[in-house]
Structure 1
């Protein structure tokens, strides 16, 4: 049962969990010999600015933790990214971003370009059965049984994980070596746990958990297209909620697109809507 109730303290915990896992992830990538991805992390007041020279995607070049007290720091933050030839996106969290702050973003040439959902649950014991039978409809043959299992990722499976990561999210296979390298530094790092889910012994999906300061974050999950609609994502959620409970976490947080399949799976897993935050992007790109 989800006993956590909406409050300003809860919203701050949810945002903190997102900042903590991103901070630990980017620090681990930055600390690779020679910092090959050119990662930098800079603070402006409450705002935490993440940047990567070689990874241009918004997730690696974003500003988290922005608050009313940072309204007059927006120009300095924009200059930080401009000096590095990178566009920046800001994240604004309801109840933490005032109308004055949003007005300042608008005056700086930014507009709300997207929304993203943060879900939460109070971790509890789940029936984390290592393997189970799932009924599926076989084409032209009626229902069949398939065995589904979830196992911890071994270090020698990082290439496999990276392949699922890329193919499950629509990234090209050319990105597999980079994804593998950037997650190798997380595998075995305190707080991080990787999972693979199998269908009849074939790796079909992956999920990642990060725990710190009594908070858990579901940092990633993907299922290969051929294995979707089998409940694999839900099973990955249950396994991570169970592990978060085992680690003594008081809250577990996950992000998803609003009304996406992931959103529906999180709702079925007992997760509640924490907030829908907005992403702010500059009009001139």
Structure 2
């Protein structure tokens, strides 16, 4: 799946890849390391910067989602030595499983040899999308755009941080123990712009935004099952795009699962309708300790 970025931009998708990878890497780094110290200790959170990659470990993560290495190849080529150091970090931390995420343009020629040596296997594929803030806001505010059915989207007040965190975790099927405090901490942290969707007074959807320079990273957009198919996710995207504009951001970055034969990803199509374009597809590479 490929698509060109808005013709108004002189930059290519490849040129925007470092910004897109940086945005996601720094957002995830802040999200995990910004948790209270007691939560980090309970979950076994540790972080490192190896080469130009952000390497995150959550040793006691029952979901096995949060241990990730990403942001590779932004300033220097990815080498076998860098990947070996990343894997050594995970072994030293006792991490049961981690995902390495590399933009296709930075994967080295000897990648298959590196994978065989380090015990890395290919997993699912994500789509990396980039949007011009002005374009996304213009589409979001277009008079002919269909609005959400009965939903209200607004910025999250500090008093609602824990409720917002609980809904996010429920929507993604994650437990509340320890994670609720981690998610809630981001709601009041600097450079984050959390938003919520409400239906008849019930908080039913979540999404946040992380600002890194003039780039905004979409994060954790989700709506509870009973409130879906009302346009809530699109309204959450639209509200966060307006927040990005207010923060002076120029680009918005997002990720979602790639469609395979016979599947339909509503999140992907919602973003495309708002003017996001596909920069590239990125494979998730799974590392597990050998032996």
1:74 touches 1:105 (CA, 8 Å); kept in 2?
no
Judging changes above 3 Å, is the alpha-carbon distance between structure 1 residues 268 and 284 closer, same or farther for their aligned structure 2 residues?
Answer: same
Q: CA deviation at 1:182?
A: 0.5
SS at match of 2:286: strand
Match of 2:169 in 1: 166
Q: CA deviation at 1:128?
A: 6.2
Match of 1:55 in 2: 61
Q: How does 1:26-175 map to 2 (within 5 A)?
A: 26-29=32-35, 31=37, 35-67=41-73, 68-86=77-95, 87-124=97-134, 125-126=137-138, 147-171=150-174, 175=175
1:120 touches 1:253 (CA, 8 Å); kept in 2?
yes
TM-score, normalization: structure 2?
A: 0.83
1:121 touches 1:272 (CA, 8 Å); kept in 2?
yes
Query: How many Å separate the matches in 2 of 1:10 and 1:152?
Result: 28
Match of 1:208 in 2: 208
Q: CA deviation at 1:284?
A: 7.0
Mean Cα displacement is larger for which, 32-41 or 243-252? 32-41
TM-score, normalization: structure 1?
A: 0.84
Q: CA deviation at 1:160?
A: 1.9
- In structure 2, runs of 5+ residues without a counterpart are 260-264
SS at match of 1:221: strand
SS at match of 2:79: helix
Q: CA deviation at 1:30?
A: 6.2
Residue-by-residue CA offset, 1:13-33 (whole Å, 9 max, x unaligned): 111111111122222126568
Judging changes above 3 Å, is the alpha-carbon distance between structure 1 residues 134 and 96 closer, same or farther for their aligned structure 2 residues?
Answer: closer
1:29 touches 1:35 (CA, 8 Å); kept in 2?
no
Query: How many Å separate the matches in 2 of 1:34 and 1:116?
Result: 27
Judging changes above 3 Å, is the alpha-carbon distance between structure 1 residues 7 and 267 closer, same or farther for their aligned structure 2 residues?
Answer: closer
1:162 touches 1:177 (CA, 8 Å); kept in 2?
no
Residue-by-residue CA offset, 1:194-225 (whole Å, 9 max, x unaligned): 11111233322111111121110111111010
SS at match of 1:191: coil
Judging changes above 3 Å, is the alpha-carbon distance between structure 1 residues 149 and 9 closer, same or farther for their aligned structure 2 residues?
Answer: same
Q: How does 1:194-233 map to 2 (within 5 A)?
A: 194-233=194-233
Residue-by-residue CA offset, 1:3-46 (whole Å, 9 max, x unaligned): 34424320111111111111222221265687443321112212
Judging changes above 3 Å, is the alpha-carbon distance between structure 1 residues 133 and 157 closer, same or farther for their aligned structure 2 residues?
Answer: farther
CA RMSD in angstroms comes to: 2.6
SS at match of 1:117: strand
Structure label with greater radius of gyration:
1
Query: How many Å separate the matches in 2 of 1:88 and 1:39?
Result: 13
Match of 2:24 in 1: 18
